Each structure stands twice: as C-alpha cells, then as structure tokens.
Amino acid sequence: MAERSFAKEVQKLKQGEGKTFTGEGILGITKALLENGVGYVGGYQGSPISHLMDVLADAQEILGELGVHFEASASEATATAMLAASVHYPIRGAVTYKSVVGTNVASDALSNLASGGVTGGALIIVGEDYGEGSSIMQERTYAFAMKSQVWMLDPRPNLPSIVKAVGDGFELSEVSNTPVMLQVGIRSCHVHGHFTAKDNKRPEMTVSDALENPKRKLDRIVLPPATYLHEEEKLTKRLPAAQNYILEKGINERFGNPSGKVGVILQGGTYNTVIRALNRLGIADLYGDTELDILVLNCVYPLVDSQIMEFCEGKDAVLIVEEGQPNYIEQQVAHMLYKAGKTTKLEGKGMLPMGGEYTGQVMVDGIGAFLAEHAPAMLPVQKVATNEEPVAIPDLSKTLPARPPGFCTGCPERPIFAATKLVEEELGPHHISSDIGCHLFSIMPPFDLGATTMGYGLGPASAAAFHNEDKKGRRSISFVGDGGFWHNGLTSSIGNAVFNKSDNVIIIVDNFYSSATGGQDILSSRAFNKTKQTQNSIVDAVKGMGVKWVRQIDRTYDVTKMRDTLKEALTTEEEGPKVIVASSECMLNKQRRVKPQTAKAAKDGKRVVRPRFGVDEDVCTGDHACMRLSGCPSLSVKDTGDPLRDDPVAAIDQTCVGCGNCGEVADAAVLCPSFYQAEIVTNPSAKEKRRASRARKIISWLQSRRDAKRVAFA
C-alpha cells in the first residue's frame, strides 16, 4: 500500500498524438517509455524515484495492454540483471532505482551488462539524491558511468527535455550497443509542466516473442576471451559511435552569445538554477535569454572533445558548473585544454563550493564571482543579488529540548527499542548494529542505540566480526527491517550468521511494508495484492536458512514481552544465531487504510470505537521517564497551574492514534499508573448514551461536593 496512489493520473498515459500532456516529471518519464516502445520495465523504490515505481505499479493494466512486462524487482541488482533481456534481443528495456546506494548494489550486474553490451536499448533511470536533505552518503553516480563505460544523460529539468532524453537514451544505447543511465534528481522527478504527447507504441519484439525465438551470441557473453574483446570494443567502436550520435542529434545544447569571451559549461540538471541565478544577477530574463555563452551537457558522459574545444575556442575563461565531488567533468575539460595547449582559464570548484548542493544563492555567489573576475562589464552596476538580511533567531537551545528526527506517532518500532533500553538497564550495554530503514532512527534520542550501519539488509552482517569466545559472554544485537531482509539480508546476514555459527542476536523489524521508501508491498506484506504474491513468512524463511532459535512477536506494543524475549535471546545457552521477528503494521499505512473505513462507517451511522490515551495529572509525578523511554511525538508536557508543583506533568496531545505504547512502556518499566485509556464512541447505542448520561451526573455531583469543601482564598 504505497503512500500515494496514481490511479487517476495514469489515465493520462493513454493520451495520443498531438494531445497536451500535463503532470509531474515521473509521470512524463512513464509516458515517454510507452511512446518509445519499451518492452519491459523493472526497478526498486527509493527517493526520489519511489513514486516512479508507484506510477508503474498503478499503470500495470495500461502496460499490459501494450504488451509491456513490469516487475517490482527484489533489489537494484535484480533490476539491472533484468536488462539482460536486451543483450541478445532487440527489445527496449528500462529499470529504475535510487542512486548512489542502489547503484552500489547493482554494480556487479552493471559491470557484466556493460561488458557484453546490448542489442536492444537498455535504459537505467537513476534517482540522484544529493544535497543537505538527502538520507544517504554524498557520492556521485558519475563514477559508475566512468568505470563501467556506460553513458549518462542528465537532461534539463523540464518535461519536454526529460521526455526527449528517454527517446535519446534508447537510441544512444542501440547505436553504441551500450547501456545508458538517465540521471534525474528531485528537481526533475517532481517538476510540473507539459509537453506534446505522441501515440504509445507496442514493442517491436515483446519478451514473449523472445521466449518463442531464443537467440545466443557468443561474443555478447562475458567470458574470456570475449571480455578482452569487450574492452577493445568499448574504446574503438562503442565510444566513437556514442560521441557521433551526441553530435549528430544535438543532444547537448548551446544558448546565449557564442562570440562571448567567457562561457559556462553545466550539467543539464543544474540548468534551471543557473538561469535563475543569471536572472537575479541581471544578465538573463525569466525565459533564459542571455548574452552569456552556455553549453548545456544533457549528456554528461561521454564528453565530446571537439564540442568542448569548439566552445572554449577564443574564450578567456570558462566556468564548469558541476554539482558534487569529485569534479569529474572539470578534470576532463582541463585535460582536453592542456593537451591542446590552450590558455583558456578554467574555473569550477573554488569559485563554486567543493561539495554540497548548488542551491540558488550558492549559484548566484559562484557565477557572480566568476563574472566579477573575468567579465565585470557583463554585470549591471546596481544589480545586487543577495538574499534579504536574515532575521536574528534567538538561541533557544538553553530553554527548549532538542527535537531530533524520530519515529512517527504510534510507530510499532518504538516499543522494540524501549524494550531494548530496559534490557540494557538490567544486563548492561551491548554492541548494536543498525540497518537502513525507519528503525535507523533508534540511533537518535531518546534511545541512542546503534553503532554502525553498513547497507540495506547488512545490519546483522556488520556485527559478524563480534564473536565472543566465551560462550557465556556478552552478545551483540543487530537490527534489520523486513524490506532489508528480503532485499539482501536473508542471504548476506541470516545465511552468513548460520554458516559461521554466530552466537549473536538478530531482530527483524517487520512492519508489513517497505515503509521507509513509501509503504510499498513486499514478500511478507499481510495484505492481498492482486499482481504480487504476498503473505510469505519471514519466520519460515529464517528457519529455512537453518536458524534453530526463532521467536515471533506479533504485537510489538507488548513491551513486557519484547523485553523478556530479548533478554532470553541474550542469556540462553542455546548455540547459533538467535532471531526475533518483531511484527506490527506500520502505523502510517494502517491509518491510510483504516481512516477511510472508519469515516465511512461513522457516516453510515454504524457504531465506531476509537481508543484514546491520556495522563491523569493528579497522579503524574512529573519525572518524564515515560518520554525518555518512549519518545512519542504525541507525548508532551503541560503546566497544571498548581503553585505547589514545580515540574510540568506529562500530557498526550490530539495527534495520539491510540496505539497504547506509552502505557505499555510505563507498565513494563514500572514507572507510574498515571496513563489511562478511554474510548471515543461514534454513533453510540441507546444503552451507552444512558450510561454516559448517568456517569456525567455522578461526576458532576462529586465535583460539586469536592468544591464545596475546599478552602477558598479571596
């Protein structure tokens, strides 16, 4: 159950020749795939292309009508290996995944695919997640393009350019027998716009056709001596073919005044930000018209030496706008100028930051500095392109507590880590290995658990070196999510632990979905999925790998049971890996599913009961231990107004979803009895109404009686 449905939007994919297609970048990419006769599509979700997978999933009926096969791949390696269908057959295939982490996973398949080359067009749509808002390490996909000799497109962030790049990518792949990467960042994935649609095309050969007519070309198979010939072919045939296509088809674009003495070479993906910066500097209008000579690299790899040298000819200075580090493009251009003996001054990193996202102000400052040094006459005298003076923000760190990112309200993973903290209070600290996923928030306060994270599904594997020779000694604890488990963890973590007779503890956090990427279904999802086989047991898979000690907890909110089970795993004398499968549905997905059902039932006049939790402020001691062990965003504090109480008491706000975690934690930790559960009843029965009326009257009478006996001061 993905976080967003595109069921309505995908109907636009049926639009034909001459129609104006409007929508988001990811929707435009899907339409372009269909217009260019794609035969099969696969991929793995991850920001910023999660929604692209969701669009494809919602469009399966349309894909099927055209004879296009779609798969939600088990991993990025699986997706890339899927492109093997284009090695021997003239079938166009496309896959998509998040980069650079996804490309790391896919690199083995990518190397083999690139070595043998392809016959049909093979397009890899990689979602580049770079900048301060990214959740991953700050690396560039460009390195993979260079080391595997696959070509990389980085189109300008507007729908016509992105759609054109899809077609260019397929053709470039076919003329050079090389896979092509189409890099799209957040600017491209979520940009809105329009383009003139074309008719969708059925693939000239479907995967079914290929099965009925099997082919085999020995020179495409990656085995010696062919591997040595592949390297030669890359250099002598594929690279020149790609460069010729780039020139002939005008893939890269040139804007501005070609006779200018200075120029800018930029990645296509940065075009909008550059133009906005030039506009703020007063040397471009809102439509991009400018006197500054600009070369837009919609294909960032390979570069065409003759095109670069032609652009630099007669220029005093050229600025390279290249987001990220290392500065691969700048190095290549510098090498070209050096070999040609040119004296053109090359600027790039230095004028612009070495790393980090090139935001609007960063671009203004960098381009402004470049022009001020090399072409000051181009800058208007009175144009000042700076942000407004920032308003002074008071330092609240001394008066307000830090609010680190954490689990959602009602998240079923929170009680798992509360239980872990309780166990550590009794048994002492343990080495804890974390993994990629929502559960990684456990490294933040209030839990402060976890020392490392090495990759998706590799949490237990990253604890593999921690082997205590003393069988009665301390064990490590590691976490892996259900998404990571099926992605890579079953073999790389569980199988590895079994094979090496690990004695450590592994907790599989099962929330029924690939929640961190948007709530997509996975193998162990409990819901029925008409196009996928779900409801596959994690416990059965773990036992199938040879794990003997396995415990299943089907309600993680039972903190006492979680605590006792983890304690048992850490202290049992049984040898081998100890695996706890902790299962409860992701609360976000549960709310998406349940809220519409509840609203409809209430509207239809049916009785609906919603649990709600609260804190009795007369009982609460005000030590706030519940928050330190829970960290739920709905748990807050409030002043009672009682002059005899110094500390504010705990309070539960209106965002509470009634999961019961706070009360469970309080009970397991023997904190206090101040938590209570109430029930909000919509459309109550007549009997319930009478009972509630009587209760209100009794309470009102008791309150009046109490107030009458109070000592009042004027």
Which sequence spans correspond to the domains of the chain?
18-248, 253-378, 414-589, 607-709
Residue with tokens 């402004």: 368
Tell me the HSE value of 9 on the side-chain side, using a 13 A CA sphere. Answer: 20
Contact present, 549 and 579 (Cβ < 8 Å):
yes
Residues near 433 by Cβ (< 8 Å), separated by ≥ 6? Answer: 450, 451, 452, 453, 454, 459, 460, 462, 463, 476, 477, 478, 479
The two counts, helices (H) then strands (E), for the chain are 25, 26
3-state secondary structure of 5: coil
Q: What pLDDT band is residue 470 in, cutting at 50, 70 and 90?
A: confident
**Is the predicted pLDDT of residue 230 greater than 70, yes or no?**
yes
Question: For 457-533, where are the E strands, in sequence order?
Answer: 477-481, 505-510, 513-514, 520-521
CA distances from 599 to 210, 367, 656, 679 (A): 50, 54, 17, 16
The tokens describing 697, both together, are: 């009257």
Which range of 216-225, 479-488, 589-598 scores highest in mean pLDDT? It is: 479-488
Per the prediction, the chain carries an average pLDDT of 88
CATH architecture entry for 414-589: 3-Layer(aba) Sandwich (3.40)
Select the more confidently predicted residue: 428 or 445. Answer: 428
Distance separating alpha carbons of residues 67 and 203, to the nearest angstrom = 7
What stretch of H or E contains 51? helix 50-58
> What does the pLDDT average to over 517-533?
82
- Segment 224-233 long-range contacts (CB within 8 Å, at least 24 positions apart): 226/116, 227/115, 230/115, 230/116, 230/117, 231/115, 233/117, 233/177
Residues near 431 by Cβ (< 8 Å), separated by ≥ 6? Answer: 451, 463, 466, 476, 477
pLDDT of 269 reads: 93
Query: b vs e for 511-525, b when ≥16 Cβ sit within 10 Å of the residue's Cβ?
Result: bbbbbbbbbbbbbbb
**Is the predicted pLDDT of residue 390 greater than 70, yes or no?**
no
Q: What pLDDT band is residue 248 in, cutting at 50, 70 and 90?
A: very high
Which range of 168-182, 488-502, 593-607 scores highest in mean pLDDT? It is: 168-182
pLDDT of 624 reads: 76
Share of the chain above pLDDT 90, in %: 49
CA distances from 219 to 212, 233, 552, 618 (A): 22, 11, 51, 81
Distance separating alpha carbons of residues 427 and 120, to the nearest angstrom = 59
**Is the predicted pLDDT of residue 623 greater than 80, yes or no?**
no
pLDDT of 456 reads: 86
What are the residue ranges of helices labelled H in 428-546? Answer: 482-484, 496-499, 538-544
Select the more confidently predicted residue: 644 or 532. Answer: 532
Q: What pLDDT band is residue 162 in, cutting at 50, 70 and 90?
A: very high
**Pick among 3.30.200.20, 3.40.1190.20, 3.30.590.10, 3.40.50.920: CATH of 253-378:** 3.40.50.920
> What does the pLDDT average to over 236-246?
96
Residue 653 corresponds to which amino acid? D
pTM of the full structure: 0.84
> What does the pLDDT average to over 536-540?
92
Sheet holding 345-347, edge to edge: 253-255, 293-297, 262-267, 317-321, 345-347
**Is the predicted pLDDT of residue 110 greater than 90, yes or no?**
yes
The tokens describing 24, both together, are: 């988001």
Select the more confidently predicted residue: 275 or 60. Answer: 275
pLDDT of 627 reads: 76
**Pick among 3.30.70.360, 3.40.50.2000, 3.40.50.970, 3.30.70.260: CATH of 18-248:** 3.40.50.970
Residues near 54 by Cβ (< 8 Å), separated by ≥ 6? Answer: 2, 4, 5, 6, 45, 518, 520
- Confirm or reject CATH 3.30.70 for domain 607-709, answering yes or no: yes
